[in-house]
Structures are given as structure tokens and as C-alpha cells.
Amino acid sequence: MKRRDFIGKVALGGGTVVSTSLMGMPSSGREHQKRVKIHENGKVFEADLVIAGAGLGGCAAAFAALRNGLTVILTEETDWIGGQLSQQGVPPDEHQWIETHGAPVLYREFRDNIRAYYRRHYPLTDEAAANDRLNPGNGSVSRLCHEPKVAHRVLEEMFSSYESARKILILKEHKIRAAAVTGNRVEHLKAKDLNSGYDCVLKGRYFVDATELGELLPLTGTDYITGSESRANTGELHAGPFHRPENNQAFTVCFAIDYVKGEDWTIPKPEDYDYWKNFRPQMDPPWAGKMLELNYSNPRNLVPKALGFHPEGIKTGDKLNLMLYRRILHQDNFKHGFYQGDATIVNWPQNDYVSGNIIDVSESEFNKHVQAGKQQSLSLLYWLQTEAPRPDGGKGWPGLRLRNDMMGTADGLAKYPYVRESRRIKSMFTVLEEHVGAEQRAQVSGLSGENLKSADFFDSVGIGYYHIDLHPSSGGDNYIDFGSLPFQIPLGALIPQKTENLLPANKNIGTTHITNGCYRLHPVEWSIGEAVGMLVPFVLNKEVQPATVRADRSLLTDFQNFLRTQGIETAWPGEK
């Protein structure tokens, strides 16, 4: 069934049927005439909603607010929008039902736009062009592996009409440096133009923190938590004995490579190569060996597991060929001879950076660890080019080429590290392992088999699914990886306990270190953003606070119906 047929025939989460594209939903009346306001020769900007961070959550919040008549200011620290999907270079991690349900309609429309971009601009084979579910890279990690730059370009296309009508002002290469707060309300933010060095003031009625590290939380005095909670505090089966605020998941500096057989694209030896070549991460339980080896700790049981690598896509026995895992261009999808080789994203266990924490540290400490992460990634590439074992007994693949053009950077590395964990708000409700983890959910519910389901949140504003996947941490934990259940996104996890007009739209919602492991992926971040982007016009129209919507069941029902009319599922099929 085609997507538009699906939208027209299926009631979303038991709510109203959606039958049109959500990008072109017109506002009406006075809202139709609203524009972002510019004061003091561009030193002060004013809109209904100010969003810091143009990752998937920030973009989704902006789309939802725009289509409901609000004006928006969207800031972004880099020169690309799209967050983990573009500037961080991570193809989407999604669940198996993503093509038909389990994410907002607009998210699937965005995915369709990615495919349409390839059909318009790339020399696809006839078979690939006719494939409704085209996967440009045929990577095994996702049903839609594509180049990071395409995500950025498609999102820009989706914003283009709103931007030219001055409904939204997108301030790229701007970083929020300060906030003005009165009582429990944010009055404005101060942003620095990273090119000119000048500051500007951003005024709004509501503010959204969609930054990768939850950077507005300390600036606005919003209460938050970092690191891994203690079992005594959360009661979670997989929590540790103590709260460790600096124990956060590894970040990764991703990069793209392709393979040109017979040519030599070996990079200069990285400055810290000898260190990284011999680096053995200190973990409990222990890591499989050296980091720069074709093995890792099996996430499910932490037993050493061999990995394979062959840049021509040739099978590596029963071992996963890492070239295929996040492959973003597969030659078979394009006219013969157009590409010199397949291209892939390197976001592997070997370049997970576990040697330091980047949350709640100084700017110099942050930069020190990011630079070290870059050295680790470049060292991995150099090792692959010069020392990685080949099936013929030789060493190294000099034809591996660093694709800086695909990442939009001079050094070939992603514009921003792939961040898996953020500051998290102290929220009205916190999602715990007992709500979504399969094992503990079975214990607390007494259910099993087909009857076992995640917690039913009365205030659900979206749904998602991914297994609980925590990468090795800066505090020395190895993988924490176990089964979860298709889950709901509770409104209570999106509302801070105190700050009234600031909402989260990234990995900074009210989860724990453990449950962040399944709420941090691409479609869930988008779902969070859309819910937040619709909550703001709803509360402005009703003249109430976000907390009131959750507390008043009549208002909550109205809001959930509002969500469903615009393509957001609040329950999985078969749930109420």
C-alpha cells in the first residue's frame, strides 16, 4: 500500500484520519500575516517560538509550529541543519515498521522526500528509480541509508517557503551564550554569530532546547541530571550502585569513505596514531582487546566478537562486513560506472570515544576531547589503509578515500560529534526501565508473551521503538544492551518541573541514563519535536501552561486529538 493510500485509510492511533501533506497546511486569519520581527538593525529578533538547535527534534518542532500559524526563530551551531542525520553523519536508526507506522506522518514524508531527491538528481537504474522503498546505500543498519548532505538539503527545501515568507528565521553558525530569566520564565536568549563574533538577542513567548547537549538547561536555571543514576534512586535492573554524573555514553566523530581500487588515498599519519593504535579501553566487563582491531564486545553478552571488513562488499564469512553496515551509496543502484566504488559512514565500535566526558565541562575541555575523538577516527582510517588484515594475507586498503565532500568539511570528519547522551530535564514524569524494558516490564506487570506491552501512559503524545542500546561510557561501562518494547512518549517527560516556557526536543527529555538508550534515535527525536511544536500553539491558544494540559484531563484529551489530526500516533496498533 502506498503511503498516501495508507494515510487516507488508516485512523492514526484511534484518532482523526489525515489525508493531506502536512507541510502545506495553511494558517488562517491574523496568524497568516505574522512574520518574524527584526529590531535594532538585526541585533534583536522576535518570534512566537525560539528553538535552539536544528537537529531532527528542532526541525520537527519548527515544522509543527509553522503549520499551526506561529513564527519561529531556529538557531544552529553548524552550517547544516539535521543534527545526527546530517552534521553528525549517522544514517537513521529505525524500527522495522517505519515505512507504515510508528512515527509521525511528516517524518515519513521527509523520508519520501529523501528518496525523491535521489530520483530527481541522481542517475539511478530503472529498477532503483521504480522502487518505492529505495535505499540508496542498501546499508544493513537502516531501510534508508543515504548521504548526510542530502538530509540537510531536503530539510532546507522543506523550510524554503516558510523562510522566504519570513515565517521562520534560521540562524546558522549561531551559538546560544546566555539567557535572561525572570522567576520561572525565560525572557530571551543571547546568541553569538560564530562568524562575525557579534551577539544578538532572541525574544519569544516559548523556547525549545533542541541542542545536542541540553545547553539551555544550565543557562536558564532549569533543573537537570547527567550521567547514570543509581539503582536505589530509579529501581532499574540495569542501573549501577551509585549516581555517576560524569558517566555518559561515548560520542563518535563519524566520517565517510569510499573505495577506489588500484589507487592510493592514504592520508598522512595522524599525530596521535601510535597512541590510538595501541589503545586498550579500560572497561568493566573488559573490552575485547585493542580498540583498532576487527573485533568488539558483543553488546548482548559482552563476549569478544570478530568483525569483518572488505571495501568491495565481498562477504566476510559469518562476520559482519563493516563496509556494508552503514553503506550510504551502493553502486548497484546507479548507472554502471557512475561511481568508482561504494561509500559508507564509519560509525563503528572502533571510533567510539570513551576517554572523556563532554557534558558540564569547560569549552576548552570539550574541545580537547572532540579533537582527541577526531584523532581516534583519523587513526582508524589510517589503520584501515595501512594495517587492517586482508583476506589475501596482506595488510591495508590504500584505495579507501576520505570523502570530505559528503560531510561538508575540510578535514573529512563530521561537523559535530555524534552525541548519544545529553543533560536531561528533571521532569514532571520520568520514563524508567520498568516502563519500557522487556525484562523489568514483565516483572512489574506479570505479563508475558504477546500480552507483554510497555506502560500505557495516559498522557501519550507520540510513539516509538528501539532496543535499549547504551554504548560504552566515559565512566568505564561496557555496552548495556537489552530488549525493550514498543513505547509511548509521555507528555510529562517533556515538561520541566519548574521552568514554565522552556521545553526539550532532543535527548534532554525526562528519561534516565538507561531509558535514553531507546528514546535517543532519529524518529523518536522527531516525534518529540513535533509534539513540542504542537504543544506551544495549543497552550498559547488556550492561554494555559504546559503543566496544566497534563493536569486537566479534558485539555489533555483535546491536545491528544489535536496531535492525531496532524498525523501523530499516540498509541501503537491494538492499544487504546
| Numbers of helices and strands, H then E, in the chain | 17, 24
Task: Assign 3-state DSSP to the chain and report helix, strand, coil percentages, each to 5.
Answer: 30, 20, 45
- pLDDT category of residue 451 using cuts at 50, 70 and 90: very high
- pLDDT category of residue 177 using cuts at 50, 70 and 90: very high
CB 172 within 8 A of CB 194: no
Rounded-to-10 torsion of CA 208, 214, 217, 219: -100
460 vs 491: CA distance, rounded Å: 6
pLDDT of residue 64: 98
Taking the alpha carbons at both ends of the chain, their separation in whole angstroms is: 24
Least confident of 31-35, 46-50, 170-174, 337-341: 31-35
Residue type at 65? Answer: A
pLDDT tens, residue by residue, 196-212: 999 999 999 999 999 99
pLDDT above 70 coverage of the chain, percent: 94
283 vs 177: CA distance, rounded Å: 35
CA distance to 189, 466, 505, per residue, from 167 (Å)? 19, 34, 20
Is pLDDT at 20 greater than 60 in this prediction? no
pLDDT tens, residue by residue, 267-302: 999 999 999 999 999 999 999 999 999 999 999 999
Is pLDDT at 4 greater than 50 in this prediction? no
pLDDT tens, residue by residue, 476-500: 999 999 999 999 999 999 999 999 9
pLDDT of residue 21: 62
State the sign of the Cα–Cα–Cα–Cα dihedral 165, 169, 170, 173.
positive
Where would I find the H helices in 349-451? 363-386, 404-407, 433-436, 438-445
21 vs 113: CA distance, rounded Å: 12
The average confidence (pLDDT) of the chain is 94
206-209 and 502-504 as β-strands: parallel, antiparallel, unpaired? parallel
- pLDDT category of residue 6 using cuts at 50, 70 and 90: very low
Least confident of 314-318, 478-482, 504-508: 314-318
Closest residue by Cα to residue 246 from 79, 81, 423: 423
Least confident of 315-319, 397-401, 461-465: 315-319
CB 135 within 8 A of CB 128: no
Rounded mean pLDDT of 409-426? 97
pLDDT tens, residue by residue, 337-348: 999 999 999 999
285 preceded by a cis bond (ω within 30 of 0): yes
The DSSP line for 393-419 is: S-B--TTEEE-HHHHTSSSSB-SS-B-
pLDDT of residue 33: 79
Rounded mean pLDDT of 122-140? 97
pLDDT of residue 42: 85
CB 125 within 8 A of CB 335: yes
pLDDT tens, residue by residue, 242-251: 999 999 999 9
- pLDDT category of residue 111 using cuts at 50, 70 and 90: very high
Q: Considering the entire predicted model, what is its pTM? A: 0.95
Q: What cell does 214 get?
A: 541540553
Place of cell 565517510: 256
Is pLDDT at 14 greater than 70 in this prediction? no
Query: Which is higher by pLDDT, 4 or 382?
Result: 382
pLDDT of residue 1: 33
pLDDT tens, residue by residue, 510-553: 999 999 999 999 999 999 999 999 999 999 999 999 999 999 99
Q: For residue 175, give the H/E element and its range.
A: strand 174-182
